[in-house]
Amino acid sequence: MNKAQYESLIPKPVLLEKRGGVCSLTPESRICVQAGSTWALQAAEYLAGRLRPLTGLPLPVEEAAQAFEPGCIYFTAQGAGTELGEEGYQLSTEEGCLIIRARGFAGFFYGCQTLRQLLPPAEGPWEIPGVFIEDYPRFPWRGSMLDVARSFFTVDEVKRLLDLLAAYKLNRLHLHLSDDQGWRIMIDSWPNLALHGGSGAVEGGRAGFFTKAEYQELAAYAQSRAITLVPEIDLPGHTNAALASYPELNRDGVAPGLYRGMKVGFSTLAAEKEITYKFVSDVLGELAALTPGPYLHVGGDEAHSTKDEEYRLFMGRVQDIVAELGKTLVGWDEIIQAGLRPGDLVQIWRKDTRPREAVRQGAKLIMSPCTRVYLDMKYGPETELGQDWAALIEVEDAYSWDPVSVYPDVGEEDVLGVEAPLWTETIHNLGDMEYMLFPRLLGVAEIGWSPRQGRSWEEYRLRLAAHGPRLRAAGVNFYRSGQVPWEER
Ligand code: TNX
């Protein structure tokens, strides 16, 4: 038997109580916003944009009248307590109307996402059962990563991904903008990076790059979905596309050819050359000016061709540059060896790594254990796409772990959150991207948002089953895992 919508919410809310009554959307229903709240208005317009095509109802957005009217949806900051934080919300049905209370845009926006899940996926009746929900996230960083460097994805495809992330209350999209195979962002002071480096891709992958205007368009679209973009320029390894674009960056002054293979660890910037730091500071400077978010991800992974001493010297200079730009540095866990500064963020991915060491130096952790959330890993031995060097990751494996206990000696307060990367050596189009992300990403979203208590794989898989029809209605190409008793409608 199918579960009621309110029993199938993902991520699972902090508190949900079933109440009597129902809110029915009708041709008279309006979306009413507390006067003067621009955050509420922005969220209300978003909701209307989603519900009109779904329901065929006019659903005008208006400033709220005094009294609540049945069948209407209200957005208000009144009664939203500090315990909700910026991202939390309350959603309740009261006398036939539905009220979303929050303190900021993200809270209103997440109230909308829960409301969407309380409605049927594709066909009416457009009724919301009597409920009281109070909800806020466990972790502030809940993300995914898309590697646009191995294979490029277009602005429209990234927007589509942003919409899907937002539906599950994910709030970070990390864009891996450079690697050996390609450079994907225009840098005016070093234009050949994009013009030449952007023309490469992994074998079978797509070439291309974002103009600055396109990146800004994506950043604004992300913001309208309560998502912060995290741009990454991978340094000092994974830099063949840059080295191929500018001979002067190479030790011997000779530019290598573009690289289409999958092997890693052969390329490095020259830590002893001063022009290297001019390059890094120009690139990060332009990127910092471009991105509204506070983060700059500088990679730091698998620099197997950089000597330890050079790596430390290089990363120290990069830390200075990022600090001068006023941004927060993020790096893969190899940067622990370089020495961290308080406030740095370390993305933990390797099996044998030392998160405690990072915490001791004042850093916070983003958990991306490769055995759980590297979503380029195959589901099982028969999965055609993806790799298997870290693990095979079925839907249960991606869900049944905890960010705080996955590595030893880490405490709740050390962990900023979770992020699920999608590397694209074998993923070259939107359909394949969706297939690897969904449905595993829903589990990651829940791990990042919901309290650990009160949920388990056994009950999660039943909730997930109810999202089959939702993903289908959204046209998502998802993996029909045999571990999940998918609902048909
Ligand atoms: C390791 S994870 C990498 C990537 C590859 C990925 C493939 C990390 C920081 N480095 O360069 O794309 O494996 O699964």
Homologous superfamily assigned to 3-135: Chitobiase/beta-hexosaminidase domain 2-like (3.30.379.10)
Calculate the CA 1 to chain-centre distance: 33
- For residue 440, report the distance from its CA to the centre of ligand 1, in Å: 18
Q: Compute CA 460 distance to the chain's CA centroid, rounded to the nearest angstrom.
A: 21
Q: How far apart are CA 430 and CA 253, in angstroms?
A: 38
DSSP3 helix / strand / coil % (the chain, rounded to 5): 35, 20, 45
What gap in Å lies between CA 53 and CA 63, rounded to an integer? 22
Length of the chain: 489
Contact call for residues 331 and 341 (beta carbons, < 8 A): no
**C-alpha 423 to ligand 1 mean position (Å):** 7
Do the beta carbons of residue 436 and residue 478 sit within 8 Å? no
Q: In which residue ranges of the chain is pLDDT below 70?
A: 1-2, 65-67
Indicate if 141-473 has the same CATH topology as 3-135.
no
What pLDDT sits at residue 66?
Answer: 64
Q: Which residue out of 423, 424, 427 has the highest number of ligand 1 atoms within 8 Å of its CB and is therefore the one to mutate? A: 423
Structure tokens at 388: 């298997």
Ligand 1 center to 309 CA (angstroms): 23
Sequence ranges of the domains in the chain? 3-135, 141-473
Give the Cα separation of 360 and 208 in Å (integer). 41
User: β-strand 15-24 against 127-135: which pairing, if any?
Assistant: antiparallel
Q: Which CATH class is domain 141-473?
A: alpha beta
Whether 361 lines ligand 1, by a CB cut-off of 6 Å, is no
| Residue 246 burial (CB count, 10 A) | 16
C-beta of residue 9 within 8 angstroms of C-beta of residue 114: yes
Task: Measure Cα distances from 61 to 35, 73, 114 in Å.
Answer: 12, 9, 19
Supply the angle between the helices 430-437 and 155-167 in degrees, to the nearest 10. Answer: 20
Q: Which parts of 306-375 are beta strand (E)?
A: 328-332, 345-348, 364-367
The position carrying tokens 């030449």 is 196
Q: Look up residue 85 and give its DSSP letter.
A: T
The two tokens of residue 230 are 């995290």
CB 269 within 8 A of CB 314: yes
Answer whether 332 contacts ligand 1 (Cβ < 6 A): yes
The ligand 1 atom nearest the CA atom of 390: 14
Q: Is 325 in the pocket of ligand 1 (CB under 6 A)?
A: no
Question: Could you give the C-alpha distances from 227 to 15, 311, 437, in angstroms and in order?
Answer: 24, 32, 17
Helix axes 212-223, 274-290, angle to 10 degrees: 50
- Say how far apart CA 199 and CA 258 lie, in whole Å: 9
Cβ of 135 below 6 Å from ligand 1: no
Task: Identify the DSSP state of 305.
Answer: T
Tell me which residue of 448, 423, 449, 446 sits closest to 436, measured CA to CA: 423
Q: Kindly report the pTM of this predicted structure.
A: 0.98
User: Which residue is it, tokens 């959204």?
Assistant: 474
Q: Is 302 a catalytic residue?
A: yes
Catalytic residue among 45, 157, 203, 302: 302
Model pLDDT for residues 352-393, shown as the tens digit of each residue: 999 999 999 999 999 999 999 999 999 999 999 999 999 999
Sign of the alpha-carbon dihedral angle for 358, 363, 364, 369: negative
Extract the tokens encoding 451.
């309290």
